[in-house]
Chains A and B, each alone.
Chain A
């Protein structure tokens, strides 16, 4: 049987988690450490993807990045196709999971005693250096927990991916979509195998990461 969806899903979830960290960590830091107009609005907007039903969210995202959408057209002029490619699956997984990272990291950053950061600044550290040497190491566990949650959510995304990436076998059909497809075609054996692989792989991964999390930074 075709195990490509498993491979694709892990690629997509890994890429999405990297993207989520890249965008989510600065966002979480901003929400935790800065006050600015629209702060609360942004804090609310971050969790919206968790509130909207995934397929609905996916539909709006498709209107944005599809060949007729503003973003899709812009990318099209640059020769980049986003909708219905594996990149769209990455974007979908990222949109679906970023709130989990941001919320956890924000709480982590807030729990860091500002006086420690202040002390680093008096010693001449730049804001960048303060973040990497004081804030992040102290908030490490929360960030780690958020990252793990985001990865798992990215791996399991169904609705958003279905809408923006389609369910194209061998191209954008991720593991959750493949399992759903097998179930609907009454191929229960294939569905069970894929589900079992997914559960086993993630369990092993989380056990490994759990050990990593106990390390001190």
Chain B
């Protein structure tokens, strides 16, 4: 009996010492998944320029917005569209004056090089060699919504629906294509520039513009740093990088 109690004690013993909270993180950026690659370049530059440590949290805009609504420790939020920021603004959890447009997103038709397929237009998705098509989940991922709108405008949505596979966010969608799980997909231009991916542009007139909006979160202890990051992104250091990843920038559309 004593030994059983001892074993229990041993199991719970590490808790007191091991569960010490990690050091608090000073500044946290919540960013939509389409910014993954661009932000991995921009964040270190900003860290150097501002002398601050940045924690980058990436996910689908909808999930991140839901978490911010429920008190997530975000300082600034870069959404992949404006509707989720509107919602957060309605709930009073963000600072409306800080709201800024920082880019417009583009979608492309992507295939893995290994498939040997050369798809140029959305209509090509109807070809029998294309058995599965990945898009981001249209219900909560802005790029998924744009993909759906484009397919609807092209009159292909109902026809292609049985072939569709939904990714949790746009990175996940790209993963489906890269791994060969699907033959084709519609992803953000900003993440399509991978060595194993071939892509073709999709006419932006086919979908609502993907106006990407950022906003500083009200509970942020360092709102000035959030604004500084926004300015950095929209400034001479951020813009060329964003441009390289295929974003249209404010003042260019």
Contact = CB atoms under 8 A, between A and B. Distances in A.
A17 interface: yes
A68 B19 contact: no
Contacts of A90: 19
A62 B21 CA distance: 20
B70 A15 contact: no
A132 interface: yes
A10 B15 CA distance: 10
Interface string A170-203: 1100000000010111100000000000000000
A155 interface: no
B39 to A, nearest CB: 11
Contact of A217 (B4, B19, B28, B172): B4
A171 B15 contact: no
B70 A86 contact: no
Contacts of B56: 169
Given A59-B66, A66-B71, A167-B57, A15 B15 contact: yes
B36 interface: yes
A132 B2 CA distance: 9
A11 B14 CA distance: 8
Contacts of B33: 184
A136 B4 contact: yes
B139 interface: no
A69 B66 CA distance: 13
B72 A166 contact: yes
The main secondary structure of chain A at its interface with chain B is helix
A72 interface: yes
A104 to B, nearest CB: 15
Considering residues A22, A90, A169, which has the most beta carbons from chain B within 10 angstroms of its beta carbon?
Answer: A169
B175 A184 contact: yes
B205 interface: no
B8 A185 contact: no
B22 A132 contact: no
Interface of A: 4, 8, 10-11, 14-15, 17-18, 21-22, 59, 62-63, 66-69, 72, 81, 83-86, 90, 132-133, 136-137, 140, 147, 163, 166-171, 181, 183-186, 212, 215, 217
Interface of B: 1, 3-5, 7-8, 11-12, 14-15, 18-19, 21-22, 25, 28, 33, 36-37, 40, 55-59, 63, 66-67, 69-73, 169, 171-172, 175, 178, 194
25 contacts: A11-B14, A14-B15, A14-B19, A15-B14, A15-B18, A17-B11, A18-B12, A18-B15, A21-B12, A62-B67, A62-B70, A69-B70, A72-B70, A83-B71, A132-B1, A136-B1, A168-B25, A170-B22, A171-B55, A181-B58, A183-B175, A185-B40, A186-B175, A217-B1, A217-B7
